[in-house]
């Protein structure tokens, strides 16, 4: 019986690796640098290489929250057996593979979440309504908030009364303040989770409750000052470097968020197979994302960069700032979120600020929204139905 369990776990592990590869080839590998490629700030192949490395780093250092939500937070009363995990991952990966093949961005988070809930409920689990409400709120508000912020930023950047040597440093300072408070594995005391601001607070020995705020402002000021100096001396080159830095942060965040979709379903099995730790699973998922980004992401990068909107560096910056903020919020909350939804919504908002409906492809957008909506429903039905016809238990 023990050998059978280990064999099923190994099979589930390969299914997880396949899912991680698909994520790297699709949403995680394509969307973070799509605006930068669209702005001709970086080549498609170089973007795929960088996003793979950063996605791996994000998976290892920030992947635990979303993994826990996918593995143990979506269905109450049951743990997915090995066959249930395999079914879930194959459904999610299969739908993503269809998206990669057709060039349309299937929402990974929607499909994996739908499959997990479908399989779990079919096995007799109970709905976790509070988590569903949280996830649904984030999913519904993401295109509104992300697209709105991108539209607002893109509308301000070209204005003559708001010079870019001021607006761009202010934006990057905000990103720096958020980054200072992002939780990373191993930055806390005794190797626990912690933030850059918390580490600085311990380093300088500050005990005040206002210390994190002061340190965050210090980081924001330092980042803004550096960008101000760079943009003032070389505006074109400075904007390009800001764009690439933001793309790198989004790629890192993509790894931290998306790896949970691949390895999260495995977590209940770790309680039975104690020879593998969570960090090992995260490393494996990160490697799968890296390989997927290197081998197959260029097709999706090109699709997103060219088909949705023709963006310059300023509008691309406007798209990446809300993408980073929303991604980190989702990681903090432990909410599985689609990077296709995040970045595509921001691209649409930024593009609309440039030239209205002429700057975007309405047909492509409608097809994409339809794909998002269908992802969850199809995955749920397939997951629920699979339990009826396959020996899952």
Query: What phi-psi label fits residue 356: left (phi over 0), alpha (psi between -120 and 50 degrees) or beta?
Result: left
For residue range 45-68, list pLDDT tens digits in order: 888 888 889 989 999 999 889 999
Give the mean model confidence (pLDDT) for residues 373-377: 86
Does the global pTM surpass 0.95? Answer: no
Model confidence at 1, pLDDT cuts 50, 70, 90, reads: very low
Cα 337 to Cα 346: distance, rounded to the nearest angstrom: 14
Whether pLDDT at 225 is above 90: yes
Cα 258 to Cα 70: distance, rounded to the nearest angstrom: 11
For the chain, give the secondary structure using H, E and C: CHHHHHHHHHHHHHHHHHHHHHHHHCHHHHCCCHHHHHCCCCCHHHHHHHHHHHHHHHHHHHCHHHHHHHHHCCEECCCCCHHHHHHHHHHHHHHHHHHHHHCCCCCHHHHHHHHHHHHHHHCCCEECHHHHHHHHHHHHHHHHHHHHHHHHHHHHCCCCCCCHHHHHHHHHHHHHHHHHCCCECCCCHHHCCECHHHHHHHHHCCCCCCHHHHHHHHHHHHHHHHHHHHHHHCHHHHHHHHHHHHHHHHHHHHHHHHHHHHHHHHHHHHCCCCCCCHHHHHHHHHHHHHHHHHHHHHHHHHHHHHHCECCCHHHHHHHHHHHHHHHHHHHHHCCCCCHHHHHHHHHHHHHHHHHHHHHECHHHHHHHHHHHHHHHHHHHHHHHHHHHHCCCC
pLDDT at residue 322, as a whole number: 93
Give every CB contact of residue 348 below 8 A, 6+ residues apart in sequence.
143, 147, 150, 308, 309, 360, 365
Give every CB contact of residue 131 below 8 A, 6+ residues apart in sequence.
69, 73, 74
Whether pLDDT at 358 is above 60: no
Q: For residue 325, which phi and psi values (nearest 5 degrees)? A: -65, -45
Q: How many CB atoms lie within 10 A of CB 363?
A: 9
pLDDT at residue 96, as a whole number: 76
Give the mean model confidence (pLDDT) for residues 272-292: 83
Closest of 83, 24, 88 to residue 51, by C-alpha: 24
Cα 206 to Cα 68: distance, rounded to the nearest angstrom: 32
Cβ atoms of 101 and 296 closer than 8 Å: no
Cα 326 to Cα 322: distance, rounded to the nearest angstrom: 6
pLDDT at residue 308, as a whole number: 47
pLDDT at residue 309, as a whole number: 47
pLDDT at residue 393, as a whole number: 57
Cβ atoms of 91 and 83 closer than 8 Å: no
State the chain's maximal CA–CA distance in angstroms: 72
Q: For residue 216, which phi and psi values (nearest 5 degrees)? A: -65, -40
Whether pLDDT at 341 is above 80: yes
pLDDT at residue 137, as a whole number: 94
pLDDT at residue 305, as a whole number: 67
Q: What is the dihedral of CA 177, 182, 186, 191, to 10 degrees?
A: 90
Model confidence at 310, pLDDT cuts 50, 70, 90, reads: low
pLDDT at residue 327, as a whole number: 92
Higher pLDDT, 369 or 66: 66
Give the mean model confidence (pLDDT) for residues 285-291: 90
User: What percentage of the chain reaches a pLDDT higher than 90?
Assistant: 25
Please tell me the least confidently modeled range out of 122-136, 137-151, 335-349.
335-349
For residue range 145-159, list pLDDT tens digits in order: 999 999 999 888 877
Between 2-25 and 82-102, two packed helices, what is the crossing angle to 10 degrees?
A: 20
Whether pLDDT at 311 is above 70: no
Model confidence at 9, pLDDT cuts 50, 70, 90, reads: confident
């Amino acid at each position: 019986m023990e050998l059978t369990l280990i064999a099923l776990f190994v099979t589930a592990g390969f299914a997880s690796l396949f899912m991680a590869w698909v994520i790297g080839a699709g949403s995680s590998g394509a969307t973070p640098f799509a605006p930068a490629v669209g702005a001709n700030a970086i080549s498609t192949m170089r973007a795929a290489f960088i996003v793979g490395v950063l996605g791996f780093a994000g998976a290892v250092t920030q992947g635990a929250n979303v993994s826990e939500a996918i593995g143990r937070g979506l269905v109450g009363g049951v743990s997915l057996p090995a066959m249930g995990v395999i079914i879930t991952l194959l459904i999610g990966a299969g739908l993503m593979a269809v998206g990669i093949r057709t060039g349309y961005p299937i929402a990974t988070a929607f499909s994996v979440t739908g499959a997990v809930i479908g399989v779990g409920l079919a096995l007799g689990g109970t709905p976790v309504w509070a988590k569903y409400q949280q996830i649904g709120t984030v999913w519904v508000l993401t295109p509104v908030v992300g697209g709105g912020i991108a539209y607002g930023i893109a509308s301000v950047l070209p204005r003559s009364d708001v010079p870019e040597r001021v607006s761009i440093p202010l934006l990057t300072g905000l990103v720096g303040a958020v980054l200072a408070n992002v939780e990373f594995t191993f930055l806390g005391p005794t190797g626990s989770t912690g933030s850059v601001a918390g580490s600085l607070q311990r380093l300088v020995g500050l005990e005040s409750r206002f210390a994190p705020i002061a340190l965050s402002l210090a980081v924001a000021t330092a980042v803004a000052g550096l960008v101000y100096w760079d943009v003032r001396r070389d505006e074109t080159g400075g904007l390009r470097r800001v764009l690439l830095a933001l793309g790198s942060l989004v790629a890192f965040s993509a790894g931290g968020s998306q790896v949970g979709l691949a390895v999260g379903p495995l977590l209940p099995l770790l309680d039975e197979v104690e020879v593998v730790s969570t960090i090992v699973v995260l490393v494996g998922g990160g490697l799968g994302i890296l390989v997927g980004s290197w081998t197959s992401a260029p097709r999706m990068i090109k699709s997103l960069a060219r088909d949705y909107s023709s963006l310059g560096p300023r509008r691309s910056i406007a798209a990446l700032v809300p993408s980073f903020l929303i991604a980190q919020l989702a990681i903090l909350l432990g909410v599985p979120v689609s990077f296709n939804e995040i970045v595509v919504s921001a691209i649409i908002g930024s593009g609309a600020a440039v030239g209205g409906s002429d700057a975007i492809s309405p047909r492509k957008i409608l097809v994409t929204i339809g794909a998002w909506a269908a992802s969850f429903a199809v995955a749920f039905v397939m997951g629920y139905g699979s339990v009826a016809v396959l020996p899952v238990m």
